[in-house]
Amino acid sequence: MSRTEIAAISGALRDHDFARAEKLCKGALAAHPEDYRLWTLHGMATAGLGDLRLALSHYQHALKLAPSYLPAMEGAAQTAFQLGDAHAEAMLLKVLAQRPNDPVSHAMLGVLDFRAHKCEDAVAHFQQAAPVIAGQREALTEYGMCLSQLEKPDEAIQPFTDALALDPARPEARYNLALAQSNAHHPEDALSTLQPLLDGAPPNADALALAADIHESKDEIALAVELLRKAILVDPKAVDGYLQFAMLSYEYASPQVGIDILNAGLTQLPNEPRLYLVRGVLLTQVGEFGRAASDFETASRIDPQLHFLRAAEGIIQSQQHDAPKAIASFRAAVKAHPDEAFAHYLLAEALQGESKPEGSPEFREMQQEANRALQLEPGMIAAHDLLSAVYIEIGQTQKAIEHSKAALAIDPKDQQAIYHLILAMRKTEDKNEVPALVKKLMELQQESKSKAPASKKFHLYEVQNQDDTKGR
């Protein structure tokens, strides 16, 4: 192929005349079908016309002819990334093998690692992609989110600052920066960043809740209460506002105020188990143990799997599994490792999640597997907790008590076991221990809260409608 043909095609590509470039490529390929450079240019022209899948096939054909040809490799990697192709990562790594400092490839790999929840790798790539992502709000946001997840809020501040500078009107970008500033112990900076969201009409409910938490950390309780009230008025169906207010009421010995707020919350969210659970805790503070027991039982009935700590904090994370595949996998693991206690426990847990009725084959299998786990490892607290929850659900109170006490004998701070014990003992004649158990539960919850990283208390916003990392 002559230099004149190459120059003509390259000129058309530079002028963004992709239709002419494609026509020239087809003509040249008719005469030179094995020329990898032409196939690469054909890929560029086709990509410019918007047919990414065809462009990828052209690049791949060029690589068959010349596997190490870098322009074809770069085109294939970027096009695969834009398509969400599973081979994109491998292609980008091949580019980096030839050009280790290529910032565009690092930027795309950072995005892929973020999506795969591999934050340490993502951060390493984003750091090498600084010139490319400097003007990309979505990549900067992902960079900041990964630093936050790695509990490096001080480092997360800069990418969040840069993301906000690119779009100052976006509430999510402002909130993310304020949360990083708060987690990095810069409360005044965080409040200053949040101020436009607090002054909005209406104000931003998440910003109000975060500002309340910051003021609480500064012992400015009246301001925290006022902000939480506003947050609830702005979004009366958001459960976290009620839970945060209730926990504030508990911490500052004002249970009735929290009860009143939860009463209001239950008019908006009558089937929210966490509201019943936390109201039950506050009711014990004012001595209304009968009403508290009713709330605990209602919470348990609505959600038998409710974990106390997560409920009280308002951060239950729903685990969505492909149950049949999970169960099949765990059964295979049990078969392969019959003496592995944890394999039996995982199978029991997966079967429990299916909620099959008592007496069904799956229910019996679940019991057998949990008990087998305990035979192999008597100190497995999780298996005791699982069986305790199951026995509470089917009304076998004494067995629930036995497993809860067995768990507590191993770990006196097992909040799940204490919660189950409260539920079970309320159904017996021996209720005298319940107030002390509730008190112990709240003490442990407060201890856990004080040790939890601040970054776990609020969530970051991902960028919606992401634009792919820009090309070269």
Question: Per-residue pLDDT for 447 more than 50?
Answer: yes
Dihedral angle over CA of 247, 250, 251, 252, nearest 10: 120
**DSSP symbol at 454:** G
State the residue for tokens 């919606």: 464
Note the pLDDT of residue 322: 52
Number of H helices, E strands in the chain: 27, 0
178-209 pLDDT, tens digit per residue, is: 999 999 999 999 999 999 999 988 999 999 99
Q: Which of 294, 314, 318 is nearest to 305 (CA)?
A: 318
Token look-up 């002054």 returns 199
Q: Which residues contact 318 (CB under 8 A, 6 or more apart)?
A: none
C-alpha of 445 from chain center: 22
Q: What is the mean pLDDT of residues 233-244?
A: 91
pLDDT at 124 over 90: yes
pLDDT band at 77 (very low <50, low <70, confident <90, very high): very high
> Is the predicted pLDDT of residue 312 greater than 70, yes or no?
no
Q: Mind listing the pLDDT tens digit for each residue in 23-50?
A: 999 999 998 999 999 999 999 999 999 9
309-310-313 Cα angle (round to 5): 85
Q: Please provide the average confidence, as pLDDT, over all residues in the chain.
A: 85
Decide: 190 and 179 in contact? Cβ < 8 Å.
yes
Residue 430 reports pLDDT greater than 50: yes
Question: What's the average model confidence in pLDDT over 348-362?
Answer: 82
pLDDT at 96 over 60: yes
Using the predicted structure, report yes or no on whether residue 317 has a pLDDT greater than 50. Answer: no
Q: What gap in Å lies between CA 280 and CA 414, rounded to an integer?
A: 19
Q: Is the pLDDT of residue 346 over 60?
A: yes
The model's confidence at residue 461, banded by pLDDT at 50, 70 and 90, is low
Measured in degrees and rounded to the nearest 5, phi and psi for residue 166 equal: -75, -25
- Does residue 463 have a pLDDT over 70? no
- For residue 373, give the nearest of 399, 408, 403 by alpha carbon: 403
Q: Report pLDDT digits (tens) over 153-179.
A: 999 999 999 999 999 999 999 999 999
Res. 456: pLDDT tops 70:
no
pLDDT value of residue 306:
60
Note whether 182 and 216 are within 8 A (CB): no
**Residue 455 — very low, low, confident or very high, per pLDDT cuts 50/70/90?**
very low
Rounded CA separation 368/348 (Å): 8
Domains of the chain from N-terminus onward: 3-100 (1.25.40.10), 236-317 (1.25.40.10), 326-451 (1.25.40.10)
Half-sphere exposure of 287 (CA within 13 A, CB side): 0
Among 74-78, 204-208, 285-289, 358-362, whose mean pLDDT is lowest?
285-289
pLDDT band at residue 136 using 50, 70 and 90 as cut-offs: very high
Comparing 36-45, 213-222, 387-396, 449-458, the range with the smallest average pLDDT is 449-458
pLDDT band at 321 (very low <50, low <70, confident <90, very high): very low
Residue 467's pLDDT is what?
Answer: 44
pLDDT score for 472: 39
Point out the least confidently predicted range of 266-275, 277-286, 427-436, 451-460: 451-460
